[in-house]
C-alpha cells in the first residue's frame, strides 16, 4: 500500500480523509457496534464477502480501518489487521497458518511474555515452538521440518541490544517456503521496515512506540501481500475452500489481500480479539508524531548509553549504537536511523545493586512497559523474565545482574542526573 508520499506525510495523512458525512478533519471515533444495511441484498452481499463494508464492530470499524490503512502504508504492506494487544497480534498472525501438530521456529531472543505464550499456551492448541539462536543460520535451517509453518523473530530483540539479521533469516524462510513473521515493536517502521528485508508478516504491540505514551493496549498484523499461500498444501486456511463462506478460497479470491481478509473475516470474527475505536483514536494521534519521537528516543539512547558505559559502577551496556556492541555494523545496515532506545545495563554490584538502583531512580519509572515518552526501567530477571529458566534468562539478555532501560524523550541531562544519583545509591 503506497501512494509515493514520504513517511512524515503518511504518519499524519495515511488512511485518513476528512469524514465524508460531516467534513470533520480529525478521524472521528465511530463509537458504534453495528451499521445499517442499505437493503436486504446489501446485507447478504456483505455477509457473503461479495462486497466490502461495515457489518459489526467485532470485524470492522471506520476508526480502526483508518489506523489499519495508515500502518500498512508506513510498513509498506498490502494490508493490516488491528487487534486488542501485541499478544493478540501474535495469535492472530499464526492462527491461519497453524494446526495441531504444527510448529514454529523462533529466535531465543524475544520479549519474555512472548516466550511464555509460545512455550505454555501454544501447547494447549497443539502447537509447539523450537527456540534457536538466530545468529546460527545452520541451526535455524536444521530446526525447520515438514510441520514448520512460520519463522518468528524481533527486529531489535527485547530487552534490547540485539539486532536480527533479517535479510539472512528471510532467505532461510524463502528457501523453506514458509513465512517469516517479524515483531517490529521495538524498532517501529520509522527505524526499520521488515518487509523491505523479506518479511512476510509484521506484528506490533501498538501499546509501545506507535501509541507512544502508555495509554493503550493494542496490536496489529501487517501483511506484505507477497507470500504465495497456494504454492504448497501447507496453508489450507488460505488456499483451500472455507466452509463458513460457501467454499470461498481466500487466496484465489483476494490475492495479495488474502491474509488481511482472512484476519478480519475469520480471525476477528471467531477469536474476537478486536481493537476498540477509542484505542484506535489514541494510536492514530500517537502515530502523527512517530518520526519526531523516535529521532529523539534514538538521540537520547545514544547519549545516555555512552555516559553509562564510562561509569565505574557499570559493566556492559548493550546499546547496538555503541562502538563496543558486536551488533553495531548489523544495526547500521538494518536500522540506519539508529537502533531504537532499549538496552540493558550490567551493574558490577550484581542482583542486589540492580534492585537498589531500580528503587532509587526518580525520573525513570519502574514499570513493565517500554516505548513510552517517559523513561522506564525494569529488572527483567525478577519480573518480566522471572518465569524463564536461568539459561533462558541469559539467552534472552535478562541475566540477574542487568536492568533494562527504555529511554524516553525527556532532556538527556535530567535523565543522566537521575541515573547518576541512583548508581551512587546502589553502590553506597
Ligand atoms: C509488549 C510487547 C509484546 C506484547 O504486547 P502487548 O500489547 O503487551 O500484548 C510483544 N512483543 C514485544 C516486543 C513487546 O514489547
- Ligand 1, atom nearest to 370 Cα: 15
C-alpha cell of residue 313: 559502577
Nearest alpha-carbon partner for 381 in 368, 373, 390, 371: 390
Residue 317: φ, ψ to 5°:
-115, 125
Final residue in a domain of this structure, among 244, 261, 286: 286
Give the pLDDT means over successive 10-residue stretches in the chain (428 positions): 88 95 95 96 91 93 98 98 98 98 96 92 97 97 98 91 96 98 98 98 98 96 98 97 91 97 96 98 98 98 98 96 96 96 96 95 95 95 83 83 96 98 95
Q: Name the residue of 158, 163, 205, 369 whose CB sits within 8 Å of the most ligand 1 atoms, as the mutation to test its pocket.
A: 205
Both 280 and 297 in one domain: the answer is: no
| pLDDT value for 245 | 87
Evaluate the omega torsion of the peptide bond into residue 159 and state whether it is cis, within 30 degrees of 0. yes
Q: Name the residue of 82, 84, 87 whose CB sits within 8 Å of the most ligand 1 atoms, as the mutation to test its pocket.
A: 87
Tracing cell 535530567 back to the chain, one arrives at 414
CATH number, residue 416 = 3.90.1150.10
Q: How far is the CA of 272 from the centre of ligand 1 (A)?
A: 19
Domain of residue 241: give its range. Answer: 10-286
Both 28 and 111 in one domain: the answer is: yes
- Ligand 1, atom nearest to 90 Cα: 10
Q: Name the residue of 115, 121, 157, 185 whose CB sits within 8 Å of the most ligand 1 atoms, as the mutation to test its pocket.
A: 185
Both 267 and 379 in one domain: the answer is: no
Both 145 and 269 in one domain: the answer is: yes
Residues lining ligand 1, Cβ inside 6 A:
85-87, 111, 113-114, 154, 158, 183, 185-186, 205, 207-208, 217, 219, 370
Integer Cα distance of 281 and 211 in angstroms: 9
Please state the domain count of the chain.
Answer: 2
Both 56 and 119 in one domain: the answer is: yes
- Structural domain contains residue 4: no
Q: How far is the CA of 380 from the centre of ligand 1 (A)?
A: 14
Both 301 and 281 in one domain: the answer is: no
The reported pTM is 0.96
| DSSP codes, 314-355 | EEEE--TTSTT-TTHHHHHHH-TT---SEEEEEETTHHHHHH
Cα distances from 426 to residues 81, 344, 346, in angstroms, run 45, 16, 12
Both 186 and 280 in one domain: the answer is: yes
| pLDDT value for 383 | 87
| pLDDT value for 244 | 85
Q: How far is the CA of 88 from the centre of ligand 1 (A)?
A: 9
Q: How far is the CA of 87 from the centre of ligand 1 (A)?
A: 6
Amino acid at each position: 500500500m503506497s501512494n509515493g508520499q514520504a513517511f512524515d506525510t503518511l504518519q499524519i495523512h495515511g488512511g485518513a480523509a476528512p469524514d465524508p458525512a460531516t467534513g470533520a478533519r480529525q478521524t472521528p471515533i465511530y463509537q458504534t457496534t453495528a451499521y445499517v444495511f442499505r437493503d436486504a441484498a446489501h446485507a447478504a452481499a456483505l455477509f457473503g464477502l461479495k462486497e466490502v463494508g461495515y457489518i459489526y464492530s467485532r470485524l470492522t470499524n471506520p476508526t480502526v480501518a483508518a489506523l489499519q490503512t495508515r500502518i500498512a502504508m508506513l510498513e509498506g504492506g498490502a494490508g493490516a489487521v488491528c487487534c486488542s494487544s501485541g499478544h493478540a497480534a501474535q495469535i492472530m498472525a499464526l492462527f491461519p497458518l497453524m494446526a495441531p501438530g504444527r510448529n514454529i521456529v523462533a529466535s531465543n531472543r524475544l520479549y519474555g511474555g512472548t516466550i511464555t505464550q509460545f512455550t505454555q499456551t501454544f501447547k494447549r492448541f497443539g502447537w509447539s515452538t523450537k527456540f534457536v539462536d538466530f545468529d546460527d543460520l545452520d541451526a535455524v535451517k536444521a530446526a525447520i521440518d515438514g510441520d514448520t509453518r512460520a519463522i518468528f523473530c524481533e527486529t531489535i530483540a527485547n530487552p534490547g541490544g540485539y539486532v536480527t539479521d533479517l535479510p539472512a533469516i528471510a532467505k532461510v524462510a524463502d528457501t523453506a517456503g514458509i513465512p517469516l513473521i517479524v515483531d517490529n515493536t521495538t524498532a517501529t517502521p520509522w527505524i526499520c521496515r521488515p518487509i523491505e528485508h523479506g518479511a512476510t508478516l509484521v506484528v506490533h504491540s501498538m501499546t509501545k512506540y506507535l501509541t507512544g505514551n502508555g495509554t493503550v493496549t493494542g496490536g496489529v498484523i501487517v501483511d506484505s501481500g507477497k507470500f504465495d499461500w497456494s504454492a504448497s498444501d501447507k496453508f489450507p486456511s488460505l488456499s483451500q475452500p472455507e466452509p463458513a463462506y460457501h467454499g470461498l478460497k481466500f487466496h484465489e479470491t483476494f490475492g495479495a489481500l488474502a491474509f488481511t481478509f482472512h484476519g478480519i473475516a475469520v480471525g476477528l470474527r471467531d477469536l474476537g480479539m478486536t481493537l476498540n475505536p477509542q484505542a484506535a483514536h489514541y494510536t492514530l494521534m500517537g502515530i502523527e508524531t512517530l518520526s519526531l519521537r523516535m529521532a529523539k528516543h534514538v538521540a537520547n539512547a545514544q547519549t545516555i548509553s555512552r555516559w553509562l558505559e564510562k561509569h565505574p559502577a557499570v559493566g556492559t551496556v548493550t546499546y547496538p549504537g555503541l562502538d563496543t556492541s558486536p551488533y553495531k555494523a548489523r544495526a547500521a545496515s538494518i536500522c540506519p536511523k539508529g537502533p531504537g532506545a532499549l538496552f540493558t545495563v550490567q551493574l558490577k554490584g550484581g542482583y542486589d545493586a540492580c534492585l537498589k538502583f531500580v528503587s532509587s531512580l526518580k525520573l525513570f519509572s519502574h514499570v513493565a512497559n517500554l516505548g513510552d515518552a517517559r523513561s522506564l526501567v525494569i529488572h527483567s530477571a525478577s519480573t518480566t523474565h522471572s518465569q524463564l529458566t536461568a539459561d533462558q534468562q541469559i539467552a534472552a539478555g535478562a541475566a540477574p545482574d542487568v536492568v533494562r532501560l527504555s529511554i524516553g524523550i525527556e532532556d538527556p541531562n535530567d535523565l543522566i542526573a537521575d541515573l547518576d544519583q541512583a548508581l551512587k545509591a546502589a553502590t553506597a
